[in-house]
Amino acid sequence: MGNTEKLLNQIMELKFTSKSLQRQARKCNKDEKSEKLKVKKAIEKGNMDGARIYAENTIRKRTEQMNYLRLASRLDAVAARLDTQAKMFTINKSMSNIVNL
């Protein structure tokens, strides 16, 4: 029974980490939007060097967001596999009890 509890704890930790990564991705999306506004304001003022820097920051935030989402998706997939494994473990245990009877 201890093995199943460890597996369930790992699944919960993976889900928690995945949600944390999704939160960070949303934060990056928000930062990306603010950087886009800074680019627009810099272009309107004629500050092309500043606009270029803000544009690079925008691109960096976008790739960071996508990386967070990719990693969160991978963690969700691992958690799903572990969940399936935990369910199969309990099914196998109950089947072995039935067969022994």
| Domain-located, residue 90 | no
* Alpha-helix runs per DSSP H in 1-101: 2-45, 48-100
Residue 30 to residues 10, 37, 41, 83, 95: CA-CA distances in angstroms? 30, 11, 17, 33, 51
Residue 82 predicted with pLDDT over 80? yes
Domain that holds residue 8: 2-83
| Domain-located, residue 59 | yes
| Domain-located, residue 70 | yes
In this prediction, residue 101 carries a pLDDT of 63
| Domain-located, residue 97 | no
pTM for the full predicted model: 0.81
In this prediction, residue 28 carries a pLDDT of 97
Domain count, the chain: 1
Residue 37 to residues 10, 15, 50, 51, 65: CA-CA distances in angstroms? 41, 34, 12, 10, 18
**Residue 68 identity:** Y
